[in-house]
Chains A and B, each alone.
Chain A
């Protein structure tokens, strides 16, 4: 896999004509409550084909919940989410009330989605290969041999074909997360959703996971990434969305958002991040 850190190598922003094409993910006025607690309010968001969108914000801002709504892992209460033009998770009945979509309909919509979780969620009783093969056999109904071939390709893509026979417990966190990415990729999704994919990793292992994600982005995968890795967002994202208290505060290209001075909460959030990651507060004195 190629790893380049120079910003010039980051994929170009979405071509202008793309915005006229229907977005692959379309959220309008999405709201979500946990009991009386409004965790998401009035979220409008479009994600276009091949676009990489990073969701950033303080913890509790609703960014993970928003991502989970996009897979209908959380049921959204208001508004609509369309994936490739299809309403996600709900059906509107004759009287205009919404009811749960049937399992087939929901699976149909989810077919296009690959999801990677913070906690990897690998199945510990199966090898890396077994983890990637399982759904190909059980869901796609591929013969085992064909499924394993496909799984090996996916593992190869994340640089782990040599670890195919290892159980997750024998892999490092970074390797486990890459297996999880391979598991999602093997199903050939059109959209990849990442829920803080590097938050549970040792700092030293973050890079290998981000490198895989970066490569995916460069290959044109549509991606929505909840992340605390501002460097990744700056280099790879086409647009960055800043959430606070369940609402979108601002969005734009990484340049626009990271240089934004109009939103005090965003400034505070970024300053906090910078302070936390600063090696020194003043330039170190040069020793001759």
Chain B
């Protein structure tokens, strides 16, 4: 039923693919977080133009399927006579832009929950808008939305399975290749599922520990 030699043979390949998956999804999440800070604060800005820009960003990047975003980004550059993006760059770009939209909405919720008096006090003490965001508001927003943020990270790792469409040898693509070479579909996909599941364990633990750490400092 389970072909152990094949499994052992596939491990180094899957290991390499795991690195690709982690690289794209973690980079995508990191850049996405930066984008999210910008977009969520734009949405909460006073200027109507900024609010509208932030809103449009979320409308587009949350509304278009990630798969379609990947394809558009990958095939966009050649349209303008530019050289092709490397699959890795295209994949990280698409994941960043997409997760940026989702994380922005999570952060917006966290930011809105902070009593306005806190930024008022900071403002009166002469702190600049960026300083208030980074020093006063963001730490609290991250803390209160941490479970959702970890959730988003987990979702993104799984969604990164889509990057295989631009030819990136991530976990899913490598498992597919293996399966189509020896027809052990069930076995390879079962292993694939297991690996995705295992990635979550350290993530969940990290999230829990971070939550507890923040809780202790504020208890």
A contacts, CB < 8 Å to B: 71, 73, 107, 110-111, 113, 115, 117, 119, 121-125, 134-135, 138-139, 167, 169-170, 180, 183-184, 187
B contacts, CB < 8 Å to A: 115, 117-118, 120-122, 124-128, 131, 135-136, 139-140, 143, 217-219
With both beta carbons as reference points, the residue of chain A lying nearest to B132 in the complex is identified as A138
> Would B117 and A124 count as touching, CB distance under 8 A?
no
Nearest-neighbour CB distance to chain A for B121, whole angstroms, equals 4
The complex places the Cα of A114 from the Cα of B124 at a distance, in Å, of 8
Main secondary structure of the interface of B (DSSP, over half): helix
With both beta carbons as reference points, the residue of chain A lying nearest to B125 in the complex is identified as A135
Contact of A121 (CB < 8 Å), options: B118, B127, B128, B140: B118
- With contacts A73-B120, A117-B117, A138-B131 known, is A187 near B140, CB below 8 A? no
- With contacts A124-B140, A169-B218, A169-B219 known, is A139 near B124, CB below 8 A? no
Contact of B136 (CB < 8 Å), options: A73, A111, A123, A169: A123
With both beta carbons as reference points, the residue of chain A lying nearest to B142 in the complex is identified as A125
> Would A107 and B218 count as touching, CB distance under 8 A?
no
Nearest-neighbour CB distance to chain B for A105, whole angstroms, equals 12
> Would A115 and B131 count as touching, CB distance under 8 A?
no
Nearest-neighbour CB distance to chain B for A195, whole angstroms, equals 10
Nearest-neighbour CB distance to chain A for B146, whole angstroms, equals 13
Q: Give chain A residues whose Cβ lies under 8 Å from the Cβ of B117.
A: 117, 119, 121
> Would B127 and A115 count as touching, CB distance under 8 A?
no
Nearest-neighbour CB distance to chain A for B138, whole angstroms, equals 10
Q: Give chain A residues whose Cβ lies under 8 Å from the Cβ of B139.
A: 125
- With contacts A134-B135, A135-B126 known, is A124 near B218, CB below 8 A? yes
13 CB < 8 A contacts A-B? A107-B126, A110-B124, A110-B126, A111-B126, A115-B121, A121-B120, A123-B118, A123-B121, A125-B140, A125-B217, A139-B125, A167-B219, A184-B125
> Would B124 and A115 count as touching, CB distance under 8 A?
yes
- With contacts A119-B115, A121-B115, A125-B143 known, is A139 near B121, CB below 8 A? no
With both beta carbons as reference points, the residue of chain B lying nearest to A139 in the complex is identified as B126
With both beta carbons as reference points, the residue of chain B lying nearest to A115 in the complex is identified as B124
Nearest-neighbour CB distance to chain A for B113, whole angstroms, equals 12
Nearest-neighbour CB distance to chain A for B83, whole angstroms, equals 44
Nearest-neighbour CB distance to chain A for B120, whole angstroms, equals 7
Nearest-neighbour CB distance to chain B for A190, whole angstroms, equals 14
- With contacts A117-B121, A121-B117 known, is A139 near B127, CB below 8 A? yes
Q: Give chain B residues whose Cβ lies under 8 Å from the Cβ of A71.
A: 124
Q: Give chain B residues whose Cβ lies under 8 Å from the Cβ of A187.
A: 125-126
Nearest-neighbour CB distance to chain B for A226, whole angstroms, equals 15
